[in-house]
Structure 1
Amino acid sequence: MDPLLNYIISQTQLPEFSVKNTVQLLHEDCTIPFISRYRKERTGNLDEVQIGDIVKYKEQFEALEKRKATILKALTEQEVLTLELKDKILSTQDLTTLEDLYLPFKKSRKTKAETARKNGLEPLAKIIMSQNANDIESIALKYIKGEVSTVEDSLDGARHIIAEWINERTDIRNNIRHQLDRFAIISTKAVKAKIDDENAQKFRDYFDWSESLSRIPSHRLLAILRAEKEGYIKSKVEIDDDKALAKIEERIERSNNDCSEQIKLAIQDAYKRLLLPSLSNEALQNAKEKADASAIDVFAKNLKQLLLGSPIGEKRVLAIDPGFRTGCKIVCLDAQGQLKYNETIYPHPPKSDAVGAMKKISSLADAYKIEAIAIGNGTASRETEALIRKVHFKNDMQVFVVSEAGASIYSASKIAREEFPNYDATVRGSVSIGRRLQDPLAELVKIDAKSIGVGQYQHDVDQTKLQKSLDMVVENCVNAVGVNINTASKSLLSYVSGIGPKLAENIFDYRNEHGVFLSREDIKKVPRLGNKAFEQGAAFLRIKEAKNPLDDSAVHPESYTIVEKMAKDLGKTVQELIGNLATLQKIDLKKYCNDSIGLPTLQDIVKELEKPGLDIREQAKVFTFNQNIKSINDLREGQLLPGIVNNITNFGCFVDIGIKESGLIHVSNLADAFVSDVNEHVNLHQQIIVKVLEVDIPRKRIQLKLHK
């Protein structure tokens, strides 16, 4: 079997057929959304997560093979590559073992062992290791020359060489690794000089802490590493030294003579100076990678839920970015999110023109036929919401409080300046708040996902892996929902399968120059958008009110002829077939199977024809906080309050209860039974009822319990 396929299968346990065909599709430059949706027959119906795993392990294998090639080249140039060593390197399936094999030949910085070799002490080291000499000091006298001035100098140098040999033994390294994996303890101590620092107090739990490295939760390890990075604590990873030394001694036979004592000293030196520092750092790095993966997974889940948040849809919105001294910035948007009007009102102190503000909002709502109001959840949000609820509107008005997270990042961005070159950042920020209500996905893709604030320790994890994971989440969400090509921004278009930033810009420019696209076939007219890009992206790009109704559906253009044949066989037009549940259920799908299309794809087609272009997201719902709770001082133990989940972590979730501070539902307070995954109990932006358990006003901490 192909080594790549063998490696992926060993890591994923997926069928060979599925892995082989998926890898082939990836080599053909197919994207994950396209493969998972439109190539189900070839993959054995793998979902996007399974295909993502194949991509991950394919990249891991390729990185491993690249490293092998580099090492083999280096060993060849050093003229030390034997057939046995080459076979070991080629058969290695993990990077750690590969680096252990290369360790004895690595050209490193000047070491004590290297200095001893230059002083001619390697023969003495070999004599000691052979354990055939009884009077080792007499032998050591022969090696006194140059920088080696005493017997102790020569024995010391020989031990450094022996220590290096011990350090390079794979069996010994793996035994220490095993002990670190099972028994390592990470402990921390405060840096006394900084213990009274105000910023250090958030880490005070770790001023004197110890815990099993294998069992420490990801958020705690990342907190410890951040505290150490900021200089407030020192940490170390330890195991039982006596036990570790005994295990090394078991692997090195010793005679009862002078050499034995020298080897024992070399073992202690190898362990304390070389093995433990190196392998404890490796163990900590491995734990950090696991913590990173866990934190990235939490962030990815949160981001997915946020991006697929409930849209209000194409409704006219009045959006407010609230404030006190600088006033409340108001914008009026049409149903497509275009800015129609902007102004600033001052209902709150110091100006306190509440009456004038209410009249202005009422008149704007009438003038622009506003259907919903979006209020940012920052400073003065509660006061502004209370003001809006006093306004007498002519028609029913839905009022929403919308997260401002990342709005300031967007308002100062190049994207925002291109969209609104004649308006300042405050107006752009207000527009973003309104558009988030209309379509969270379309607006949030314009912002760096790390700025949205729905993760834990996002700045402490591997940034490359984080970015890759988040980009994949955004791509999957965008393609799961589909994109209206005639209204989408360049940012949104760039995440469509097979498109990317450059083609997105070409689509955007073509649309501005030639007007809206009337059919999917028109997409082929976009400069540099070739057959491959069309194949990958066309089904995710929707044309509203197109002549061919399938252009506003998830049916791929390559399957149009099959739908047309179905309609013809039933004596109907394609338009008459769409939404006709009774007729669609009568279709014998097996009749339309062929070499390139099977039941999975045909079932997807029928499901899409039942409700073409159906948005998978739920509709936005109005939510009202307890109006009597205006600050943390109003909270009392035992209160039941409405809240909205605004962040999820491994240790619980944070809930917005309508005040500045979010409350925490610890994982132990989510259910009466053990909770292994917070996401099984709550979702981001879910509306819930919570019970107040504890209020710590000085530390501004609120403990909550999920009320069933």
Structure 2
Amino acid sequence: MNTSIYKLLSQSLGFAEKQIEKTIELLDSGATIPFISRYRKEATGSLDEVQIGNIKEAYDKLCETEKRKKFIISTIEEQGKLSEELKQRIDSCWDITELEDIYLPYKPRRRTRAEIAREHGLESLAKIIMAQKSEKIKTSAARFVTPEIPDEQTAVEGACDIIAEWVSENERARNTIRRCFEHSAVVHAKVIKGKETEGDKYRDYFEWSEPLRRCASHKILAVRRGENEGILRVSITPDDDTAIERLQQIFIKGSGETSNLVDKAIKDSYKRLLRPSIESEFAAASKEKADNEAIRIFAENVRQLLLAPPLGQKRVLAIDPGFRTGCKVVCLDAQGNLLHNETIYPHPPRQDSAGAARKLTQLVESYKIEAIAIGNGTAGRETEQFVTNLRYDRKIQVFVVSESGASIYSASKVAREEFPEHDVTVRGAVSIGRRLIDPLAELVKIDPKSIGVGQYQHDVDQTKLKKSLDRTIEFCVNSVGVNVNTASKHLLTYISGLGPQLAQNIVDYRKENGDFARRTDLLKVPRMGAKAFEQAAGFLRIPHAQNPLDNSAVHPER
């Protein structure tokens, strides 16, 4: 490993180089973030899972930059333009924006106006104009007249196209325009003519502008969604006059004819090449920043939902409320197994409140119910009022439970495997009840994007969102630990070192051989090697194990 990477990470993240080095060594050896944060504190200097996650993310980015550097060096070398000085500069550069600026003049070109002018031999004329020494430019241009370049004016225009490209590829010029964007860029949104009715939900952005540096993330995501739907036209612009003035200060050396031509080329370069290029950078950067903020909030909401206190092993009656189709009722045992299901109609249009009341009190008595879970969807409030007004033969706790994603779960392959003989309404009600008993165990079965606790989830970077939510679930599952004798395949999948295949193998082994009596029995599971066992063991619990430490977070290696 390049030791300069450790130094860079140390400087950017504020950790000691030794901590960075040890953490990366552990990650490269196949150790998971939960395992490192809990069982390798002495190696990392007690870094937590968030800090280790940040190291991994930053390290992965630098590895991508390293790959890009190799590609750039190879491309320039093929052109025969790689000097030792240029190679050293690329090698020592770790800023991806600066790296792309270095590469820009060597990038294989499309057939631009400047490229066509070069093909016609006008680069020498461009150099004469750029030097701003000769004032008899028509005389100089006359030498470049050919069948393809019919007159001096055409030659000068072609040379100015080359100068415009030089300006746009100049690192100092690009950084100058970036600073203009940083200080004064304004994001504008305007409705596309004729889309007013179709895009009514974007009315707030029909004629809208705001300084980019003060623009809230949710507004960026909203206007970009409007742009993607073809409703809004969105742009980001700095103060153009200031930007052009700064470029003139860099390139103009006098006030004669050639300086005027350079000035014209600067304005053309800014409008046609530089501003669109830097605008694209800032559009991407502002979108990335907005994505990161939305994903952070989403992940935090998911974390809170997953780590909501479980009711624990209680017998639960769960209700998926409804008006016309009635309320689907299920009775679950303390482990969440389905004992009974039926439908009651306490609300209009059937309004059989007496029959529904009789049925509910009977079910509570028959199945020794200890708590009632009611979904918070349609008719949820009315059902809660109805249920709390009934008299039961014992004290019953009533809870309103979020049913976000229950319909997704009920139609999923997971639900079909669990309840092949029941329809989606029964499965949805079971999910509501189980969320009360153990939110973590139930919600891991659902795609976290379907839990409904974030805004603009379909507008953010989907790969980044999935990675963040998977890491959040992994953190929650491993911080709590799971009972290896009752955990579902879906819960086990998120345990450090396991994954879908090993999780399935554990469930299959459990079915064939009965409960695990000790942690070391896990080594008998097919494909459970020493490495996977090391990573997973500390997060798996065996209640009533022969060794009481097998029901704790103490790792077997201790």
TM range, smaller chain:
over 0.9
Task: Spell out the pairing of 1:622-701 with structure 2 (5 A cutoff).
Answer: none
Which residue does 2:94 correspond to in 1? 93
Q: Distance in 1 between matches of 2:389 and 2:255?
A: 94
Can you list the C-alpha shifts for 1:247-290, whole angstroms capped at 9, x where unaligned? 11111142343211111111111111000011012112111111
Query: Which amino acid is the alignment partner of residue 454 of structure 1?
Result: V
Q: Distance in 1 between matches of 2:265 and 2:193?
A: 35
Which residue does 1:336 correspond to in 2? 335
Can you list the C-alpha shifts for 1:339-378, whole angstroms capped at 9, x where unaligned? 1111112222221111111111112112211111111111
Q: Distance in 2 between matches of 1:377 and 1:88?
A: 60
Which residue does 1:201 correspond to in 2? 200
Which residue does 2:83 correspond to in 1? 82
Contact 1:321 1:375 in 2 (8 A): yes
Task: Spell out the pairing of 1:207-222 with structure 2 (5 A cutoff).
Answer: 207-222=206-221
Can you list the C-alpha shifts for 1:189-239, whole angstroms capped at 9, x where unaligned? 222312233xx3332221222111011111111112112222222221111
- Of all paired residues, the percent bearing the same amino acid is 55
Residues 1:443 and 2:442 are matched in the alignment = yes
Task: Spell out the pairing of 1:325-404 with structure 2 (5 A cutoff).
Answer: 325-404=324-403
Which residue does 1:153 correspond to in 2? 154
Q: Distance in 2 between matches of 1:15 and 1:260?
A: 53
Contact 2:126 2:159 in 1 (8 A): yes
Which residue does 1:297 correspond to in 2? 296
Which residue does 2:224 correspond to in 1? 225
Deviation, 1:311, is 0.9
Q: Distance in 2 between matches of 1:366 and 1:50?
A: 51
Q: Distance in 1 between matches of 2:190 and 2:256?
A: 43
Count of residues in correspondence between the two structures: 557
Q: TM-score, normalised by structure 2?
A: 0.97
Q: Secondary structure at the match of 1:235?
A: strand
Q: Secondary structure at the match of 2:213?
A: coil
Q: Distance in 2 between matches of 1:450 and 1:230?
A: 21
Residues 1:271 and 2:270 are matched in the alignment = yes
Which residue does 1:16 correspond to in 2? 17
Which residue does 1:167 correspond to in 2? 168
Task: Spell out the pairing of 1:414-433 with structure 2 (5 A cutoff).
Answer: 414-433=413-432
Q: Distance in 1 between matches of 2:74 and 2:64?
A: 16
Higher helix content, 1 or 2:
2
Q: Distance in 1 between matches of 2:203 and 2:189?
A: 11
Contact 1:7 1:61 in 2 (8 A): no
Q: Distance in 2 between matches of 1:289 and 1:382?
A: 39
Q: Distance in 2 between matches of 1:515 and 1:31?
A: 29
Which residue does 1:411 correspond to in 2? 410
Q: Identify which range, 230-239 or 324-333, moves more after superposition.
A: 230-239
Which residue does 2:52 correspond to in 1? 51
Which residue does 2:239 correspond to in 1? 240
Can you list the C-alpha shifts for 1:611-663, whole angstroms capped at 9, x where unaligned? xxxxxxxxxxxxxxxxxxxxxxxxxxxxxxxxxxxxxxxxxxxxxxxxxxxxx
Query: Which amino acid is the alignment partner of residue 69 of structure 1?
Result: K
Query: Which amino acid is the alignment partner of residue 336 of structure 2?
Result: G
Q: Distance in 1 between matches of 2:251 and 2:383?
A: 76
Q: Distance in 1 between matches of 2:99 and 2:63?
A: 14
Contact 1:375 1:402 in 2 (8 A): yes
Q: Distance in 2 between matches of 1:320 and 1:137?
A: 88
Contact 1:498 1:536 in 2 (8 A): yes
Q: Secondary structure at the match of 1:450?
A: helix
Q: Distance in 1 between matches of 2:408 and 2:157?
A: 60
Give unmatched runs, 5+ long, in structure 1: 560-708
Deviation, 1:141, is 2.6
Q: Secondary structure at the match of 1:373?
A: strand
Query: Which amino acid is the alignment partner of residue 488 of structure 1?
Result: A
Can you list the C-alpha shifts for 1:117-175, whole angstroms capped at 9, x where unaligned? 12221121122112332221232233232332233222111111111111111011011
Q: Distance in 1 between matches of 2:12 and 2:415?
A: 43
Q: Distance in 2 between matches of 1:77 and 1:340?
A: 72
Which residue does 1:38 correspond to in 2? 39
Which residue does 1:143 correspond to in 2? 144
Contact 2:101 2:169 in 1 (8 A): yes
Query: Which amino acid is the alignment partner of residue 46 of structure 1?
Result: L
Q: Distance in 1 between matches of 2:82 and 2:522?
A: 56
Task: Spell out the pairing of 1:239-638 with structure 2 (5 A cutoff).
Answer: 239-559=238-558
Query: Which amino acid is the alignment partner of residue 31 of structure 1?
Result: T
Query: Which amino acid is the alignment partner of residue 11 of structure 2?
Result: S
Which residue does 1:685 correspond to in 2? none
Contact 2:252 2:263 in 1 (8 A): no
Q: Secondary structure at the match of 2:557?
A: helix
Q: Secondary structure at the match of 1:237?
A: strand
Residues 1:68 and 2:51 are matched in the alignment = no
Query: Which amino acid is the alignment partner of residue 106 of structure 2?
Result: F
Which residue does 2:177 correspond to in 1? 176
Give unmatched runs, 5+ long, in structure 2: none
Q: Which runs of 4+ in 1 moved over 6 A?
A: none
Query: Which amino acid is the alignment partner of residue 38 of structure 1?
Result: Y
Query: Which amino acid is the alignment partner of residue 409 of structure 1?
Result: I
Contact 2:168 2:273 in 1 (8 A): yes
Q: Secondary structure at the match of 2:374?
A: strand
Q: Distance in 1 between matches of 2:146 and 2:344?
A: 89
Contact 1:113 1:164 in 2 (8 A): yes
Q: Distance in 1 between matches of 2:213 and 2:373?
A: 46
Q: Secondary structure at the match of 2:227?
A: helix
Q: TM-score, normalised by structure 1?
A: 0.77
